[in-house]
Structure 1
Amino acid sequence: MTIPAVCRAPQPFAKGHGAGNDFIVLPDPGGHLALSATDVVWLCDRRTGIGADGILRAVRSTASPEATGMTDGTEWFMDYRNADGSLGQMCGNGIRVLARYLVDTGYCPPGTFTLATRAGIRSVHVPQRTATFAGPVTVDMGRPRLPGPAGLTVSAGTRSWPVLHVDMGNPHAVAFVESLAHPGDLTAPPSVAPATAYPHGVTIEFVVRRSPYHLALRVHERGVGETRACGTGACAAVAAALRTGATPGTYTVDMPGGQLRIAVFADSSMELTGPAAITASGVVRWPLHRP
């Protein structure tokens, strides 16, 4: 049963980001925090809450029913929630931020370890922090799954483009465009046709090719809106480029919040590398009343 907010003890939190894609980390080793969708929306609100693109609840796998069967050698489960309160299967920037947090707080040693997600087990590598440099964090993203539904299009503003479906543990629709300005301000969610293609929503990437191994993109993330960066979205863009004639190698992906690097191997598996920083910590005092 969810404990009423008025009865809850203050909750420790940390704030972090990966290339500008920001998250609130809630440490909950024993799995005691009953986090509702309303809680998530309030926490992620940038005016009345802390503000973030999503929530990362750090819970030990043995304390999470969702991690059943994934506890062999994998101590921690990433309970990821989108800013609208919906559950997320995977988050490429979020998992790197969570890994950075677990190392910075001493829950995990630096180096390589695994984390459980709703999309399965992922291996991460967090370098030893120095006095002046934290270093980028790398995550094994696995193999993209495609193609998906054929004949899909996305519309934003007055323009439409064909899209390629890519599954990175969460669904993506990738459109190649001539200019990143063409989708407009993305205040309203782009529409995908047919409307039945993604009954639970989809993250949409608008991508331009800078050079054979260099892409740039904007992302409208499912349950969030336009974000400064998206790790699974960057991988989906590279997977779509490979599908349309690119070759394996190491790709640089420019996003509004910074650069990510995606290494593509001969078996089509991908590694995502980029910045991941913890910028603040504090205590959440749950509101007595909500609108």
Structure 2
Amino acid sequence: MSARVARPAQQPFAKGHGAGNDFIVLPDPDGRLTLSAADVVSLCDRRTGIGADGVLRAVRSAADPEAAAMASDTEWFMDYRNADGTPGQMCGNGIRVLARYLVDAGHIQPGTLTLATRSGLRTVHVAHRTADYDGPVTVDMGRPRLPGPPGITVSAGAHSWPALHVDMGNPHAVAFVDDLRHPGDLSSPPNVTPPDAYPHGVTVEFVVRRGPYDLALRVHERGVGETRACGTGACAAVAATLHTGAPAGIYTVGMPGGQLRVDALADGSMELTGPAAIVASGTVRL
């Protein structure tokens, strides 16, 4: 691993999003950047920083101790941090944005590639861009794991609902609701009981079934707040729907920031597809 050195006065960055779920990408190929939780919070502040739901540090696997064991399988590691500075295991939209960035920056070619995450390796396919469209990005999200802790209840607004635990590499509690307005303001975390079910927090999805293979949801993301989209949340919502007896197939998942597609495959795995775009670049003082 390369030795850590004093960080530059001006750090290059890119800003991207997937269906409105936005991220700051910090290129750090040689693993020389020491990024504190306070740095992440400052960068993600929407008034005094760049503003984002999270930070993606793009670092070569061999240059980061968390990913060194995966260096023989893939060159690049997604060091994802939530907006509150905490490390994240997996981010479905984030990994698609990172893949788009790596293609746009010339580090990799469009097509199929493998990226390392704290939840292991993920296969990503980046479509060739056209004159007026970046092209979709698809990621193999693996197999959801459920059920988890029993008897979970989620409360928000003036309502409470039973919820199903779904593990997508990060923890989710999925509640089916009649109206997406019922959870009210999701700037603060919903109340989840029993209190010891998720000692490190949980991302909560409120889901409405709009029809066969068609869902809509709102998400309070752990360490972030309400986000305009959530890739792992979309997959968790589909996994919970399948658990009720719905068939596998191609699901449309609508969220405030846009629409994602989840392919629930016959072998139990899921693929997440949607837009991913880099919208700005520059330098920032850390």
Q: Normalising by the residue count of structure 2, what TM-score does the alignment of the two structures yield?
A: 0.97
Partner residue, 1:275: 275
Paired-residue identity, %? 77
Give yes or no for contact 1:112–1:125 (8 Å, CA) kept in 2.
yes
> Which residue identity is paired with 2:191?
S
Q: In the TM superposition, what is the alpha-carbon distance from 1:250 to its structure 2 partner?
A: 0.2
Aligned to 1:27: 27
8 Å Cα contact 2:228-2:256 kept in structure 1: yes
Q: Which runs of 5+ in 2 are unaligned?
A: none
Whether 1:119 aligns to 2:141 is no
Aligned to 2:196: 196
Q: For residue 289 of structure 1, what is the aligned residue in structure 2?
A: none
Give the equivalent residue in structure 1 for 2:208: 208
Equivalent residues of 1:89, 1:119 under 8 A apart: yes
Q: How many Å separate the matches in 1 of 2:157 and 2:128?
A: 46
Question: Is the 8 Å Cα contact of residues 174 and 207 (structure 1) preserved in structure 2?
Answer: yes
- State the secondary structure of the residue aligned to 1:95: helix
Does residue 230 of the first structure (1) align with residue 245 of the second (2)? no
Per-residue Cα deviation, 1:228-265 (whole angstroms, up to 9, x for no partner) = 00000000000000001111000000000000000011
Moved more, 68-77 or 158-167: 68-77
Matched residue, 2:12: 12
Provide, for residues 148-206 of structure 1, a one-character-per-residue CA deviation record: whole Å limited to 9, x for no partner: 00101000022100000000000000000000000012132101001111010000000
Check whether the contact 1:125–1:139 (CA below 8 A) recurs between aligned residues. Answer: yes
Tell me, yes or no, if the aligned pair for 2:4 and 2:32 is still in contact at 8 Å: no
Normalised TM-score (structure 1)? 0.95
Residue 61 (structure 1) aligns with? 61
Deviation at 1:9, TM superposition (A): 2.3
- AA partner of residue 34 (structure 1): T
**Counterpart residue identity of residue 78, structure 2:** M
Gaps spanning 5+ residues in structure 1: where?
287-291
- Output the CA distance in 2 between the equivalents of 1:8 and 1:187: 34
Runs of 4+, deviation exceeding 3 Å: 1-4
**Deviation of 1:227 (Å):** 0.2
Residue 43 of structure 1: SS of its match in structure 2? Answer: helix
The alignment partner of 2:161 has SS state of: strand
Matched residue type, 2:279: T
Q: Are the aligned partners of 1:28 and 1:57 in contact in 2 as well (CA < 8 Å)? A: yes
Q: Number of residue pairs matched?
A: 284
Distance 2:219 2:206 in 1: 6
Secondary structure in structure 2 of the residue aligned to 1:34: coil
CA RMSD of aligned residues (A): 1.3
What's the counterpart of residue 285 of structure 2? 285
Query: 1:276: how far off?
Result: 0.2
Q: Is the 8 A contact 1:2 1:35 kept in 2?
A: no
Using the TM superposition, give the Cα deviation of residue 2 of structure 1 relative to its aligned residue in structure 2, in angstroms: 8.4
Moved more, 122-131 or 20-29: 122-131
Aligned counterparts of 1:227 and 1:2: Cα–Cα separation in 2: 33
In the other structure, the counterpart of 1:171 is: 171
Q: Deviations over 1:31-76 (max 9, x none)?
A: 0000000000000000000000000000000101001221123010
